[in-house]
């Protein structure tokens, strides 16, 4: 299936808010499939939101089982119209983003969240995420709202250049 190009900053599309999908809309499951195929093409990536690939739909995928740091997770998840309904245990942590390939930043995020959404079959789900998985979900949901992780930093001291892998 198609591996879509990932938009990088300063593409203005990244700042647009994605509208909710109507339940049953076939655009939702197709967006999830495209996101899964694209995520698979980026070995270090654990999440991707539809606006990052030029699709204005409230769709995202996360897969923390791909993470280099072991953590509790739900495996590969595709969510449509996700909404955070509870957030607690706030803590700063280091984040990166495919749309900012050269940057990392310290961002304060909830370490426990509850999310209501639809899965790829348009069945409603209500899930609790903790730790790194909670952070990844918040990061991707922000993309759906046109919010970039740099919008969440407090000062330039929280911004870092990503180290390049030795070749």
As annotated, the active-site residues are: 140
Contact call for residues 120 and 76 (beta carbons, < 8 A)? no
Task: Report the distance separating Cα 36 and Cα 91, nearest Å.
Answer: 29
Task: Report the distance separating Cα 81 and Cα 3, nearest Å.
Answer: 22
CB atoms within 10 A of CB 46: 25
Give the helix/strand (H/E) hosting 34: helix 27-40
Q: Which residues are CB-contacts of 93 (< 8 A; sequence separation ≥ 6)?
A: 106, 107, 108, 109, 132, 135
């Amino acid at each position: 299936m198609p591996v879509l190009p990932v938009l990088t900053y300063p593409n203005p599309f990244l700042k647009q808010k994605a509208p909710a999908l109507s339940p049953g809309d076939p655009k939702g499951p197709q967006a999830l499939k495209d996101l899964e195929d694209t995520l698979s093409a980026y070995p270090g990536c654990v999440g991707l939101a539809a606006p990052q690939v030029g699709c204005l739909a409230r769709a995202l995928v996360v897969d923390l089982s791909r993470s280099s740091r072991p953590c509790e997770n739900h495996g590969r998840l595709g969510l449509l119209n996700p909404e955070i309904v509870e957030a607690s245990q706030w803590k700063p942590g280091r984040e990166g983003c495919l749309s900012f390939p050269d940057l990392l930043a310290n961002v304060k995020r909830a370490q426990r969240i509850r999310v209501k959404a639809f899965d790829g079959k348009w069945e409603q789900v209500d899930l609790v995420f903790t730790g790194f998985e909670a952070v990844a979900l918040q990061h991707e949901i922000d993309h759906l709202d046109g919010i970039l992780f740099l919008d969440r930093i407090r000062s330039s001291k929280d911004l870092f250049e990503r180290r390049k892998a030795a070749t």
